[in-house]
Amino acid sequence: MADAASRDNLRGSAFMVAAMIGFGLEDAFFKGATASGGISPGVATVQFGLLAMALFAALTRVQGRRLWHPAYVQRALLIRTAFEIVGRLFFALALAYTPLSTTTAILQAAPLAVMAGAALILGEKIGPRRWAAMAVGFVGVLLIVRPSPAGIEANAIFALLGMIGFAGRDLATRTSPAQVHSSQLGLLGFAVVTFAGLVIIAFEPGAPGLPTTSAALAICGTAVCGVLAYAALTAAMRTGEVSVVAPFRYSRLIVALVLAVTLFGERPDMMTLVGAAIIVLSGLYTLLPARWRRLRP
């Protein structure tokens, strides 16, 4: 039994790392397409959403499940959808206008925000050490966004609001109907991406233009990487123990930093790197106590 559990944890961890590589490539493709000026953030988000939605629709049908589920309009999923709109909308803007390293570093605080929300909203019991770890993690966020008397840089607010939206989505997922399969949730999620893109287009100046060929191909890469990463993430969470697998979620930051430096020539300053390290270490700390308790005789 122990050997089987170890193998499951190893497989789950590998799936999680693969998912984070996929999400990192998804972000890089999207940023590359929008930063080149070949496609606007709104049009890119709509194209990404439609392509990924089509892939998930095909997967859902292959599994013999319905594309439309009545639970989509239940209160819990409507709340989840509203948070995902906020997350997708502002994360797309952050990828377009904010350094990839900064955007991804702020996103790493989402698990801390989920834990805080679970305690404050769902009534889950969290000890004082974890509360302290969460406070330290949010100090890391402040080191990255660096609020001043003049305010926070507008582009950093995009990443911060995107993180809050994703945290709310993940928190609402805990109360979503169990009968909705993960592929159906993926289909709903990318329908939300498409809607978020339409909202962005509504506020973009001028009429939306056609993307260049290279930008359109890059968004195709975004969709493929996003769907594969989503599938790997689902496999990871269903294969190993959450306390073992979840910490590998932070490998996304390493992937993003490598891509940001090699592809986009970014040079994160020391304050950003220190803030990112604080966020990751505090997030890891919140996962360790439960694991330690299980290892005690």
Residue 38 is classified by DSSP as: S
Percent of the chain whose pLDDT exceeds 70:
93
- What pLDDT score does 289 carry? 53
Cβ atoms within 10 Å, residue 74: 14
Q: Confidence band (pLDDT; 50, 70, 90) for 295?
A: very low
**pLDDT surpassing 90 at residue 42:** yes
Range of 7-11, 126-130, 276-280 with top mean pLDDT = 276-280
- The answer to whether the CB of 156 falls within 8 A of the CB of 144 is yes
Instruction: Tell me which range, 165-169, 188-192, 217-221, is most confidently predicted by mean pLDDT.
Output: 217-221
Cβ-Cβ contacts under 8 Å for 293 (sequence gap 6 or more) = none
Listed in sequence order, the residues at least 6 apart from 262 whose beta carbon sits closer than 8 Å to its beta carbon are: none
Closest CA to 49 of 181, 230, 204: 230
- More confident of the two residues 124 and 166: 166
Do residues 271 and 36 make contact, with C-beta atoms less than 8 angstroms apart? no
Does residue 161 have a pLDDT over 50? Answer: yes
Residue with tokens 């005690």: 296
pLDDT at 148 over 80: no
Amino acid making up residue 16: M
Assess contact for 269 and 117: CB atoms under 8 A.
Answer: no
Whether the Cβ atoms of residue 81 and residue 65 lie closer than 8 Å to each other: no
The total number of structural domains that make up the chain: 1
Instruction: Report the pLDDT averaged over residues 10-38.
Output: 92
Dump pLDDT digits (tens) for 52-64: 999 989 989 998 9
Q: Which residues are paired to 274 by β-bridges?
A: none
pTM above 0.75, yes or no: yes
How far apart are alpha carbons 204 and 293 in whole angstroms?
52
Torsion of CA 179, 183, 188, 192, to 10 degrees: 140
The string of DSSP codes covering 207-247 is PPPPPPHHHHHHHHHHHHHHHHHHHHHHHHHHHS-HHHHGG
Instruction: Say whether pLDDT at 176 is over 90.
Output: no
Residue 209: its pLDDT value, please?
A: 86
Whether pLDDT at 110 is above 60: yes
39-58 burial: b if 16+ Cβ within 10 Å, else e: bbbbbbbbbbbbbbbebbbe
CA-nearest of 194, 218, 204 to 38 is 218
Residue 182's domain spans which residues?
2-295
Helix (H) or strand (E) holding 158: helix 154-173
**pLDDT digits over 223-244, tens only?**
999 989 988 888 887 777 776 7
Q: Give the pLDDT mean for 248-272.
A: 92
Integer Cα distance of 94 and 41 in angstroms: 10
User: In the prediction, which pLDDT does 296 show?
Assistant: 45
Mean pLDDT taken over the chain = 87
